[in-house]
Amino acid sequence: MNRLVAPSLLSADFGNLNKDIEMVNASQADWFHLDIMDGVFVPNISFGFPVVKQVKKLAKKPLDVHLMIVDPDRYLERFKEYGADVLTVHYEACTHLNRTLNQIRALGMKSGVSINPHTSVELLDDILEDADLVLIMSVNPGFGGQKFIKNSLKKISRLKEMIVAKGCNTLIEVDGGVDISNAATLYSAGADVLVAGNAVFGAASPVDVIDKLKKS
């Protein structure tokens, strides 16, 4: 089982972003997680292409880009251009999800699909072969620092069963309310990648928290 950690830069210090990027580079983290929000699909606006481009210049690890935006198909090529290695779109935002995921792969990125807390994992059954990653939102997307939704554990376990039954290599990523207290439980349920924002960047020693998340 994979145990990957992707610190979320949404919780980083944007007044000193270079320092936080260097910290992640030097840590045991595996990916940089970047949340792109448009203020329409979710009730918040984060950052766009200039920040992604700057992170890519400094990052020594893959960029895991999560699009929380409407009509993501318009921007797939640009996110590839600006450095995305993994590109995740929302099930709820894509009219032709199969086409979108295959286009992401055709552009040379890993394809990801995310589902909101109210969306059933069963709806992904027909596209699991097209997704390199499924991101389960364990909070309602849009803001950091929210409380973990416990029902997410059942969704992780069920999704793992579906992936195994199909013989896929699809990774399960979890984002929202992830910290040292629930990391082991999430891995046990079937998670492969943990996204952590406040738990990492709000800690006295972010490097130690990342290490503990990896070893949970």
Contact in structure between 40 and 70 (CB atoms under 8 Å): yes
DSSP state at residue 148? P
Q: What is the rounded end-to-end Cα distance, in angstroms, of the chain?
A: 13
| Among 30, 35, 130, 132, the one annotated catalytic | 35
**Shortest CA distance to 188 belongs to which of 20, 11, 3?**
3
175 is catalytic: yes
Contact in structure between 109 and 85 (CB atoms under 8 Å): yes
208 is catalytic: no
Going by pLDDT thresholds of 50, 70 and 90, the confidence category of residue 43 is confident
Please report the pLDDT score of residue 111 as a whole number.
98
**Shortest CA distance to 145 belongs to which of 198, 82, 211?**
198
pLDDT of residue 198 exceeding 80, the answer is yes
Tokens 């589902």 belong to 115
pTM of the predicted structure, to 2 decimals: 0.96
Q: Which residue has the higher pLDDT, 85 or 2?
A: 85
Query: What are 99-127's pLDDT values in tens digits?
Result: 999 999 999 999 999 999 999 999 999 99
Contact in structure between 11 and 197 (CB atoms under 8 Å): yes
Average pLDDT over residues 49-65: 96
What are the domain boundaries of the chain? 4-215
CATH placement of domain 4-215: 3.20.20.70
| Among 20, 38, 175, 192, the one annotated catalytic | 175
- Cα torsion 83, 89, 93, 97: sign: positive
Please report the pLDDT score of residue 146 as a whole number.
73
Residue 169's CB: how many other CB atoms inside 10 A? Answer: 12
Query: What are 128-155's pLDDT values in tens digits?
Result: 999 999 999 999 877 666 789 999 999 9
